[in-house]
Structure 1
Amino acid sequence: MSSAYSEFASVYDELMTEIPYDTYADLIALAAGGLEGKKILDIGCGTGILSVKLAKMGADVTGIDISSDMLTVAEQRAIALSVPITFVEQPMQQPIQLELFDVAVIAIDSLNYVIELEEVMTTFKNVYNTLKVGGVVLFDVHSTFKMDEIFMEGPFTFDNESIAYIWETEQGDEPHSVYSELAFFIKTELGLYKRFDEVHYQRTFSLQEYVSMITEVGFSVERIFADWEDEPPHEESERIFFQIRK
């Protein structure tokens, strides 16, 4: 992501209202055999929406993210809801020098911001090393179909009368990668619009490449499904979920 996190963090939650976070929390609970008392690492936690939901379900949650501005919003959310959560600022491809966890999650295509295959491998190794034996991981990524086809159908627009954006996309330098240029227009109290711009770059890999990386690190694959449904991925699936175990 770009460095304009303070502005992007302020609108992130409103842009993510269509993400079924309750469903994600239920998927994690199912994979973990319940959340009460479980130690969970929420990797790429953003503004803490999922972290708070998991904590409310009885988990002991730690969230990590690369953005201090996102974490500021997350901390404010946790305090406002009286939920004890630890937040740590760091990229996911750096060693995670924390306690051992029962569960790790990398939600809402956060892993797709790690561009190099070697760094994706490093991320999986870091997650493996911070999990207890028998610990489970749930993560999701954009499919190659979404990156190569759907994202190329832009530009996309959005307007809910308080926030508007124009989102232009183009193919990235690596296979299955996308540059996104977004111009945001935020309505002020005076009724005028303030503009700021974001540039995002994401990359994904094939299902087979993810499986190869996962198993090379030492994980076993328990379940692969797509688009929030208990169904295997097909050629036009958009979001691929992996449930893996140490």
Structure 2
Amino acid sequence: MYNRFAQVYDELMADIPYENYLAWVVHEVGNLKGKQLLDLGCGTGTLSIPFAHMGAHVTAVDLSQEMLDQASEKAQQEQAELNFDCVSMTDFATDEPVDVAIIAIDSLNYLQHAEEVQQTFERIFSVLQNEGHLFFDVHSLAKIEAYLQGPFIYEDEEVAYMWSTEAGEEGHSVYHDITFFLKNEDERYERFEEHHYQRTFPLEKYIQWLKQAGFTTVTVEDSIFGEDHFGLRHFIHAKK
């Protein structure tokens, strides 16, 4: 998963308003200078890098080494100091307590079982400082249904894809089968395929599991990414 996808990920995610995510975290936490920040499912580091520029000590975690390689290259280019860890968000470890943890851009939806989500919440709670923060977003039930309206087609001068979807065996889950055509230096297109599986749960389940893990305050927003995304993602802030 994500082996070749890492090469085209940033281009395909160009319409995501990452700056809104940054503003949300800063609004809730305040000055990040000197804070220990854990970016789980960091992808190519698109959020990790600006958080580091704000003065946070960032550990960027992802299960894909290819994603981390892209993140490392970007961090060097943008002169951002990051620590990297190639591990699942269910199994990460930290050397010291964390002030802020983030699971951005529906990364949590790649966990297939409720027990894995609960384990992740419990592990994050255990490493957070008192009054530490967890920020994450997940697909709404409506977003999973919208995915099933595919296929979706995208094309520009460098990359094209056909994105087919199929309902998964579990409730509120979806299989993504994506065929890419990526232009090489010789102007020829290389074809490769990616296969992904995502699952979401009712919002009340996420809130229940957070409180069971020990979080004292849980707030939910649906408008962090603006009107075009309203009702398709739940943005959740939990505080220890």
What's the TM-score bracket when you normalise by the shorter of the two chains?
Answer: over 0.9
Q: Which residue of 2 aligns with 1:115?
A: 112
Aligned equivalents of 1:31, 1:162: Cα separation in 2: 38
**Counterpart residue identity of residue 221, structure 2:** F
Q: Quick one: which of 159, 164, 176 aligns to 2:155?
A: 159
Looking at structure 1, the residues matched to 166 and 119 of structure 2 have their Cα atoms a distance apart, in angstroms, of: 27
Give the TM-score, by structure 1 length.
0.93
1:94 and 1:229 mapped to 2: Cα distance? 29
Task: Name the structure 2 match of 1:245.
Answer: 239
Give 1:45's match in structure 2, choosing from 42, 45, 61. 42
Aligned match of 2:217: 221
Contact 2:20/2:225 (8 A) holds in 1: no
Equivalent position to 2:186, from 166, 187, 190: 190
Instruction: From the superposition, tell whether residues 151 and 227 of structure 1 become closer, same or farther in structure 2 (CA, over 3 Å).
Output: farther
> Structure 1's 169 and 229: CA in aligned 2 closer, same or farther, altered over 3 A?
closer
Cα offsets for 1:88-144 (capped at 9, x unmatched): 110001142332111000000000000100010000011111110110111000001
What is the Cα deviation at residue 189 of structure 1?
Answer: 2.2
- Following superposition, the deviation at residue 31 of structure 1 comes to 1.7
* AA partner of residue 40 (structure 1): L
Structure 2 CA distance for aligned equivalents of residues 10 and 229 of structure 1 = 24
How many angstroms does 1:37 deviate by?
1.6
The offset of 1:230, in angstroms, is: 8.6
Are the counterparts in 2 of residues 211 and 221 from structure 1 also a CA contact under 8 Å?
Answer: no
Question: Aligned-pair RMSD on alpha carbons?
Answer: 1.6
Structure 1 CA distance for aligned equivalents of residues 171 and 32 of structure 2? 37
2:22 is the counterpart of 1:22: no
Change (3 A) 1:100 1:90: same
What residue identity is the alignment partner of 1:240?
H
* Matching of residue 9 in structure 1 with residue 6 in structure 2: yes
Tell me the amino acid that sits aligned with residue 153 of structure 1.
Answer: Q
Q: 1:85 aligns with which of 76, 82, 85?
A: 82
Q: Deviations over 1:176-200 (max 9, x none)?
A: 0000000000012222210000000
Matches of 2:11 and 2:223 in 1, distance apart? 21
* Superposition deviation, residue 160 in structure 1: 1.2
| Aligned 1:172-191 pairs, distance under 5 A | 172-191=168-187
One-letter amino acid of the counterpart of residue 237, structure 2: Q
Residue in 2 that maps onto 1:209:
205
The code of the aligned residue for 1:188 comes to N
Q: Could you say which residue in structure 2 is the equivalent of 1:127?
A: 124
| Contact map agreement 2:174 2:197 (CA 8 A) in 1 | yes
* Counterpart position of 1:73: 70
Q: Which runs of 5+ in 1 are unaligned?
A: none
> What SS does structure 2 have at the residue aligned with 1:31?
helix
8 A Cα contact 2:17 2:225, kept in partner = no
> Cα distance, 1:20 vs. partner?
1.0
Q: Deviations over 1:28-79 (max 9, x none)?
A: 1112122122111000001111000111112111111101111011111111
* Structure 1, 220-229 or 192-201: larger mean CA deviation: 220-229
Counterparts of 1:87-102 in structure 2 under 5 Å?
87-102=84-99
Gaps of 5+ in 2: none
